[in-house]
A = this chain, B = another copy of it.
Amino acid sequence: MAADVRGYFINWWKNICSMVQNVVPVILSGGSGSRLWPVSRKSYPKQFWPLLSDKTLIQETALRGRAAGFADPVVICNSEHRFIVAEQLRDAGIHKAKIVLEPVGRNSAPAIAAAAFMVAEQDPDAILWIMAADAAITDETALQHSLKDALKAAEAGRIVTFGMKPTRPETGYGYIEAGAELAGVQGVYEVSRFIEKPQAAKAEELFQSEKCLWNSGMFFAKAGVFLKETEQFEPRIYETVGQSVRNRHTDMDFERLEEESFSAAPDISVDYAIAERTKLAAVVPGNFGWSDIGSWDALWDLTPKDAEGNATFGDVFLDDARNCYVRSDGIIATVAGVDDLIVVVTPDAVMVSHRDRAQDVKHMVNRLAQAGRKEAVAHNRCYRPWGFYESLIQADRFQVKRIVVEPGAKLSLQKHFHRAEHWVVVGGTAMVTRDEDLVMVRENESIYLPLGCVHRLENPGKIPLTLIEVQSGPYLGEDDIVRIEDVYARS
């Protein structure tokens, strides 16, 4: 950080230090991100991948709030992703996040209302900084400017949006037309109107206008103000979500919203439900390099490139390529004699597309899903509360898996009706329950689990346990499992 920037930051910090204790980042982790397939999939969507740095998008998002000195975040996510969220936040050094589980997906208005209810229980005047888990911001200094402006307006009871000065006639974003500057709040403007994602001609017109800004979908508003507007414009959301919050229960480190009432909430975005209706809307024009990373092309745009305009990641060799995005999270990828191409390789899929057609990746994902292909939604590596497993080879009568168990974690007590298992420990130490016995299995030792035996795998040690599992039997589906006991409360 340059000295003048650091000096600026310290001043800014002093200015707002008294105010920031009651700003709570609300991180919405709801998207399934099929537009960045095959990296991003329903089972492990794009917010959980390191796409722009060595941190994942949700980590970058959460750390942005910490850098501003705000409170620990509230993260609202799909129940299926809870262990991923918890581990990624822990990895980023964020230990006191509140992780709220949606029993079903109901779009952004109910999710935000749930966060607002929970924050308001402590302090209705606390300010929510609402944002998606999977967006990029490239200019943190500019962001700090905008946050400072937004804070004043939110303190004054406004629902503040952040509008980005357009750099191209983008058809993939909604727009905000700014009106007059707020009286007494420099840098913040009235909202004249919200404009939905435009067609190309309209986008060009908006791009030319001085007043029209991209709608970043971020909000700054007091929890109480947000709830009041929700009550006025969407009383059904106010009622159902309020009830699901009051009836929530705590499941380990997670806050689980009550399913019955939350399911009854209307499925509606915060833009339609509140932003476009409220008279309290305001907008802070900003230039902090926000992007929703809505396609591989957008990611290419955000990534540093070589002299020929190529952005690469992983085990990639290029020859006479220009303006390409080439990424491998698996085997070597070589690309030669092409322009404007996207090539993405994961351990189980290859995707090649013209950059101009990057938006259409989701159509391909739909086709794969219709064809019943698991690659459409799930990765080969499956994350579990205790670690992960991945299939190394699957054949008619055998399967080999790598299983990694985190220190202190244990799998469920289980049995199988159609397969025997050979476990070879290749790293760490395993404690294995096998029927009546408890056996310690060390590195370079193995144990045999005959068909039907009741068994459990546990890592009693201080380093990850890695084992190779060789399954043998006529049926090897994941559903051949009877869970007799599970510390993670899975059925």
Which positions in A face B, CB cutoff 8 Å? 38, 317, 319-320, 328, 330-338, 341, 343, 345, 347-354, 356-357, 360-361, 363-364, 367-368, 371, 373, 375, 392-393, 395, 397-398, 400, 402, 420, 422, 424, 426-427, 443-444, 446, 448, 466, 468, 470, 472-473
- Given A364-B319, A426-B470, A444-B420, A354-B375 contact (CB < 8 Å): no
This chain: copies in complex:
2
Contact of A349 among B334, B357, B364, B472 (CB under 8 A): B334
Interface of chain A, main secondary structure: strand
CB pair B398 A334 closer than 8 Å: no
Please give the distance in Å from A45's CB to the nearest CB on chain B: 18
Identify 14 new A-B residue pairs, CB closer than 8 A, beyond the known A336-B354, A337-B353.
Answer: A38-B334, A317-B368, A319-B364, A332-B349, A333-B349, A336-B357, A336-B363, A337-B356, A338-B357, A341-B341, A395-B466, A424-B472, A446-B446, A468-B468
Of B333, B350, B422, B444, the contact of A472 (CB 8 Å cutoff): B444
Q: How far is the CA of A363 from the CA of B470 in the complex (A)?
A: 41
Contacts of A470 in B (CB 8 A): 424, 426, 446, 468, 470
**A343-B352, A426-B472 in contact; A368/B331 too (CB < 8 A)?**
no
Could you give 10 example pairs across A and B, Cβ below 8 Å?
A: A334-B350, A334-B352, A336-B361, A338-B341, A343-B350, A392-B393, A398-B427, A398-B466, A400-B468, A426-B472
Asked, given contacts A333-B352, A352-B341, whether A400 binds B397 with beta carbons under 8 Å apart, the answer is no
Q: A317 to chain B: which residues have CB within 8 Å?
A: 364, 367-368, 371
Q: Are A353 and B338 in contact (CB under 8 A)?
A: yes
Q: How far is the CB of A459 from chain B (nearest CB, A)?
A: 17
The 10 closest A-B pairs by CB, nearest first: A337-B357, A398-B426, A337-B354, A444-B472, A392-B392, A424-B470, A333-B350, A335-B352, A336-B353, A422-B424
